[in-house]
Every structure is written in C-alpha cells, then in structure tokens.
Amino acid sequence: MASLAGRPRRTVNDERFFVISAIIMAALLAAGFSVHLAFGRSSFNAPLRVHLHAVIFFGWTMLYLLQNVLVGTGYRHIHRRLGWLAVAWVPAMIVMGVWVTVALVRAGHAPFFFQPAYFLVMDPVTLVTFAGLVAASITMRRKTQWHRRLIFCGMAILLGPGVGRLLPLPLMIPHAGWAVFAVVILFPLVGMVRDLRARGKIHPAWWWGAGTIVTMQIAIDLITFSPLGMAIYGLATQGSPGAAIAPLSFPPFPRA
C-alpha cells in the first residue's frame, strides 16, 4: 500500500473527509433499503427489472466508495482507469431508473406519499441532474478539487431513495419530496462548512453543486404542476391502469 507519509496534511485530511463521506453515503443507502425489506415493504419476488435496477444503482454506490478509497490509499492510477466505467455506467442508470419509474406509474403503483405525476417527473429529473454533475466532474477530472466535489454532489442526489425509506414520509405529505431534499442538501452544506474550517474559504465547486441540487428540486415542482407535466403523465400512462388515476391526487394509504 502506498504510504501517506510526507504528503501535505491538507491533502490527507481532504482524502479522509471524502472517504468517510462515501462510507456514510453507502451506509445510508444500505440502511434505507434494508429497513424497507425488513418491514416487508419490498420483496425478492419483484420483477426482473427491479433487481437489475438495484444491482446497477448499488453497483454505482460501491464504485463510488471504492474510488474514494483508492485515492485515499494512494492508488490513483487504478482510480483513473476505473473512473472510465462511469461513462458506461451512468447511461445504464438513467435507462433503468426511468424504466422502473414509468412501469410503476403505468401500473398505478406510485408511492402513496407522492402524487403520481410528481413521482414520474422527480425520478428522471434527479437522474439527469446526477448525470450532469458526473459529466461535469469527469470533464474537470484534472482539477481534483472540482472533480471530487462535483461528483460528491452528484452522489448526494442518489441518496434520495435511501433517505426516503428512513424518513416518516407518510407524515410529511404533501411535502415529502422537499423533506428528502432537505436531507440531501445537507451533504454539500457539510462540505462547505468543512472547507471553511480546513481552508478558510468555500471551494466554488460546492456552490455549483449545491446550486444545481436546489435548481433540480425547484424544476421538479415547476414541471410537475405545469401543462408539460400533465402532458408527460398522459403520454407515459396512455393505455395503462395509471391513466385512470388522477395525476395530482395522492394515492390512498395502503391497507394494513
């Protein structure tokens, strides 16, 4: 293992922060989905597309964690080579994420704490925003401080489904989406505070990353409650049971 001895203290502390953050993010996602399974809210009998979705998305989480560990332990050359996996991985995430979301809405199975149209818009918009931040981070890969902060913000967006399974979202209707956002945005905010304490100033990448997340959340609302949102819902549900469900009404609570 490459030694950290002789490296600037700031660099070592940076890498420790990003490694610990990646561990926390992975743990949050694992906890959220594990709790969901333990309470019987999900099942291994789900359709194949759901299992593929899980493998691809959790695979990304493990890749993100591994990449941070590789940098933190000095294996930057492996980190750089492995990083190109993201070029193929992210498009697969978008395809699977949109496919599963549309299938759920068409079947009339949107989570009851989200309006069906909101759920239909929310998932694709968050995935496209995530992909945009990852693409920006790859473009800025030679500028390490930009690269690691932008992809950190992208990863924070993906925490939404895991965080949502840990929050009492049924009690947060009609603001469940914003409740999830409030937790997600904490991650770049923590990064800002950490920069202030360690560097005396906030790196501009945090402002771009956090600003993108805020813009994403506002865009979800603007699209959902617009004629465009209604048109998207009508197109996605045409000829399916979901077409009979009011797009802006909350589904009934599930029976015990």
Structure tokens, 197: 């304490």
Contact 82, 88 (CB under 8 A): no
Angle at 184 between CA 132 and CA 71, to 5 degrees: 65
Contact 164, 41 (CB under 8 A): no
Would you say residue 3 has pLDDT above 50?
no
Q: Is the pTM of this model over 0.75?
A: yes
Would you say residue 12 has pLDDT above 70?
no
Q: What is the pLDDT of residues 19-57, one digit of tens each?
A: 999 999 999 999 988 876 665 555 556 778 888 988 999
Which 3 state secondary structure label does DSSP give 71? helix
Contact 121, 223 (CB under 8 A): yes
Chain position carrying tokens 């913000």: 153
Mean pLDDT over 185-194 rounds to 97
Structure tokens, 198: 């360690």
Model confidence band, residue 194 (pLDDT cutoffs 50, 70, 90): very high
Angle at 67 between CA 199 and CA 180, to 5 degrees: 75
Find the Cα–Cα–Cα–Cα dihedral 32, 35, 85, 204, rounded to 10°: 10
Residues 6+ apart with CB under 8 A from 112: 170, 250, 251, 252, 253, 254
Angle at 205 between CA 58 and CA 177, to 5 degrees: 50
Q: Which of 76-80, 104-108, 189-193, 233-237 is the least confident region?
A: 76-80
| pLDDT value of residue 152 | 98
Mean pLDDT over 173-193 rounds to 96
CA 7 to chain centre: 32
Report d(CA 244, CA 250) in Å as an integer: 13
The sign of the torsion formed by the CA atoms of 62, 64, 67, 69 equals: negative
Q: What is the pLDDT of residues 107-137, one digit of tens each?
A: 999 999 999 999 999 999 999 999 999 999 9
180-210 residues labelled b (16+ CB within 10 A) or e (exposed):
bbebbbebbeebbebbeeeeeebbebbebbb
| pLDDT value of residue 43 | 56
Chain position carrying tokens 């549309």: 102
Task: Report helix angle 48-72 to 85-106, nearest 10.
Answer: 150
